[in-house]
Structure 1
Amino acid sequence: MLPRPTPHRSRLALAGAAALALGGLTASLLTIPASAGGTGIDARRSAKPADVRFATFNASLNRFAEGDLVRDLSTPDNAQAAAVAETIQRTDPDVLLINEFDYVAGGRAAELFRDNYLEVGHRGAAPLHYPYYYVAPVNTGVPSGLDLDNNGTIGGGNDAFGFGTFPGQYGMVVYSKHPIATDEVRTFQRFLWKDMPGAVLPDDPATPEPADWYSPAELDAVRLSSKSHWDVPIRIGGRTVHFLVSHPTPPTFDGAEDRNGTRNHDEIRLWADYVSDRADYLYDDEGTYGGLPRGSRFVVAGDQNADPFDGDSFDDAILQLLEHPRVRDPHPRSAGAVEAAARDAGANLDHAGPAAQDTADFADALPNGPGNLRADYVLPDRSTKVRDAGVFWPESDDPLFRLVGTFPFPASDHRLVWVDVRPTGAHGR
């Protein structure tokens, strides 16, 4: 289920379906040992009250036309939305990012999904209540008025600030059981790519000038984030954890200039710089400069569209986070991913990375595609204790396999990734 036309070449094709209050700490979590494969066993157990489950899920709840998602979520009988909701209910995150969820001003779609699906039990799964959510505009589908793909015409998804056929397509939403400090959220939707020092700007290989794919006028307009980057502070008891969420562009659907591959690299770099002491250049949409204050607790989450071993990302893009001295990689895994890699075969047979850590199934969706890859991440800071981690990818003999299935997938070609953390000692900022 792909959101774009057939790519120019087969590279890392990671995309989804063609598809304010403050309070105390309360958490009732489903604890699933990593060795169980993160399948979402239905027998719930209360975790220790200090543990908090963060999750990310590219749920492919995007639609081809503006208004279609609201239509589909306005009734409780959309099969895909029900499968997405049940997946979330089986894993029971406290804080959740959903990628590829069309943005609708006023939060209408987010509220419909919460009210009609998350708060309604599905096939024996208990309802979930998220009293807090956050949505904001994204760059996808927003016309730039420029010929960004250099095809001689202006208009269409490739010339938008982020690929999309209408404003808000492939957006995102954060749901939380804990209060969101909405007034302290920072967004980076309009940060210009050229303003990142040492940005890896795309180069037209047919010309001798370096990094000249975009004209000077275009560089003055091109935004770095293909959707947006959000720092969403979550109040957990008397502490704050910064939920750093984004969805970098797939590093494909371009040409030899690799404009999407280089953009994916620098979108990932934004968070790597943000949690370091090298973000003085970075300004948010309110004009405030700088990164995360030293000592802050954080969790980076989202479909990063980059695998550390396989696919064809630009310059090992995801290693900017996985090898970052302030970031912890919990290496979530599942038995279902191992089974799927063997079943799908193809490119999976030549992969260097561990199949158990895959989070997305692309072998069936793309002929001669990149195979199954690790694309989705939940990465706490190193000071935060990780209690457990997993990927919701049941094996075929598991009753919940129906929620992931095989192509065409009942919910998404991505799998939900979760990490249980204990943010003890997090600063109140």
Structure 2
Amino acid sequence: MNVSLYGDRAGEVKQKLAGGSDAKAINLAKVINQVQPDVLLLCEIDHDADGSTLDAFADGYLNGAYPYRWSIPTNTGVLADVDINGDGKRYLPVDAWGFGKYPGQYAMSVLSKFPIDQAAIRTFQEFRWADLPEALRPINPVSGEPYHSDSVWKKLRLSSKNHVDVPIRVEVGGKTQALHLLASHPTPPVFDGKEDRNGKRNHDEIRFWIDYISSSDVDYLVDDSGAAGGLPSDASFVIAGDLNSDPNSGDSIRSAIANLISHERVNDVEPKSDAHGIATALFGRRQVRVDYVLPSSDLSVVASEVVWPVDGQVLGKAVQATDHRMVWVDISLE
């Protein structure tokens, strides 16, 4: 769920959340507390090293219902050691590994009622874009030359925030098994030029998951601890996040999302709302599907929905808190 809990400076959101009286957070919590998901991915909530912003939201607005939490480290607002913008200077937000005015802006967090296997988490925050085979390197259409210099291209990180594999320990029939939450929030495929650098990055951030679930033997997928490989073929997973790409409309390079939702290991049940179908966000007057919960094909799906609050109802004010809607999928592990 994209909760849009970010500000213009570090610490601003945490300050607003203090005391449990922030109107936006209250409206977001109404949706979450009604659905009561067992595992919840939050997109666009500030990251801080001690997780205090996440704690302020979870304790102050969600009644402490989620004892297991992880505020995910992010590339947003982290100043790169190269001049990404190419103007001879290095400054935020344009020269961050991921666009952001301050470290931690637009980050992600996981809330869970089941234990998170912290020791087994894999992060790909530092994975280099150039290390993805057949990466869509941005090209200046006028000169025909690469948009980024070779020295910059060799260092650019793929993930605008992070790509994480978070094993959730779920007990079924007296046995504990791992459900892998594969979470990311690719950059919007806009706010660039004819070189389409954000569109190409968005495509490849989504394609990362295709490679990750396709084979456990991919030696180029090296995580931040130095371990290589994709997801084991027998692992159950759920891919979740605001992927900023609609397979049928919008500005993204749609082949990546189309290939992901049609992948043989993915069961896209197309969650819907009664009023808006599969749309999950409202951008201006345009309804798009950009938020996803994609279980692996070995899992049994019981129900699913896009929660689209209606004006005049209890949850109606939630539309003022974020331009994205919650997507949930109920699965059975038995």
For normalisation by structure 2, the TM-score amounts to 0.95
Match among 122, 128, 142 for residue 192 of structure 1: 128
Matched, 1:330 2:269: yes
Pick one of 302, 321, 325 that aligns with 1:415: 325
Q: Deviations over 1:217-238 (max 9, x none)?
A: 1022100000001100001101
Paired residue secondary structure (2:42): strand
Aligned length in residues: 329
**Rounded Cα–Cα distance in structure 2 between residues aligned with 1:419 and 1:145:** 40
Give runs of aligned pairs for residues 61-210 of structure 1, distance below 5 A.
61-119=5-63, 129-151=65-87, 153-209=89-145
State the one-letter code of the partner of 2:197. R
2:173 equivalent to 1:252: no
Deviation at 1:240, TM superposition (A): 0.8
Structure 1 pair 74/399, CA: closer, same or farther in 2 (3 Å)?
closer
Q: Report Cα offsets for 1:293-329 as digits up to 9, x if no partner.
A: 1110000000000001010111433112111111010
Q: Distance in 2 between the 1:399 and 1:246 partners?
A: 30
Q: How much does 1:399 deviate?
A: 3.5
Aligned partners of 1:145 and 1:155 also within 8 Å: no
Matched residue SS, 2:47 = coil
Distance in structure 2 (CA, Å) of the matches to 1:279 and 1:256 = 32
Q: Aligned pair in 2 of structure 1 residues 132, 97: CA closer, same or farther (>3 Å)?
A: same
2:213 to 275, 287, 309: 275
Check whether the contact 1:335–1:395 (CA below 8 A) recurs between aligned residues: no
Match of 2:244 in 1: 305
In 2: Cα distance, 1:247 partner to 1:267 partner? 8
Alpha-carbon displacement from aligned partner over 1:127-164 (angstroms, at most 9, x marks no partner): x6111011232100111143323355431212110000
The residue number in structure 2 matching 1:362 is 283
**Residue 253 of structure 1 aligns to a residue in which SS?**
coil
The 8 Å contact of residues 147 and 153 in structure 1, kept in 2 or not, is answered as yes
Q: 2:200 aligns with which of 262, 266, 274?
A: 262
* Structure 1: segments with no counterpart, 5+ residues: 1-56, 120-127, 338-355, 365-370, 425-429
SS in 1 for 2:238: strand
Tell me the distance in 2 between the aligned counterparts of 1:134 and 1:219.
Answer: 31
State the TM-score, normalized to the length of structure 1. 0.75
Contact 2:246–2:254, Cα closer than 8 Å, also in 1: no
CA displacement at 1:253 relative to structure 2? 0.5
Q: Which runs of 4+ in 1 moved over 6 A?
A: none
Distance 2:316 2:87 in 1: 43
Question: Any idea what SS the aligned residue of 2:50 has?
Answer: helix
Letter in 1 for 2:121: V
Structure 2: 5+ residue stretches without partners:
none
SS at match of 1:403: helix
1:197 and 1:375 map into 2 onto residues whose CA distance is 25
Measured against aligned partners, the alpha-carbon deviations of 1:14-39 in whole angstroms (never above 9, x if no partner) come to xxxxxxxxxxxxxxxxxxxxxxxxxx
Query: How far, CA to CA, are the matches of 2:91 and 2:311 in structure 1?
Result: 44
Sequence identity, in percent?
A: 46
Of 258, 274, 287, which residue of structure 1 is paired with 2:226?
Answer: 287
Q: Which residue of 1 aligns with 2:153?
A: 219
Aligned CA-pair RMSD? 1.4
Determine the C-alpha separation between the residues in 1 that align with 2:62 and 2:71: 17
What is the DSSP-based 3-state SS (H/G/I as helix, E as strand, rest coil) of the residue aligned with 1:60?
strand
Mapped contact 1:97–1:175 kept (Cα < 8 A): yes
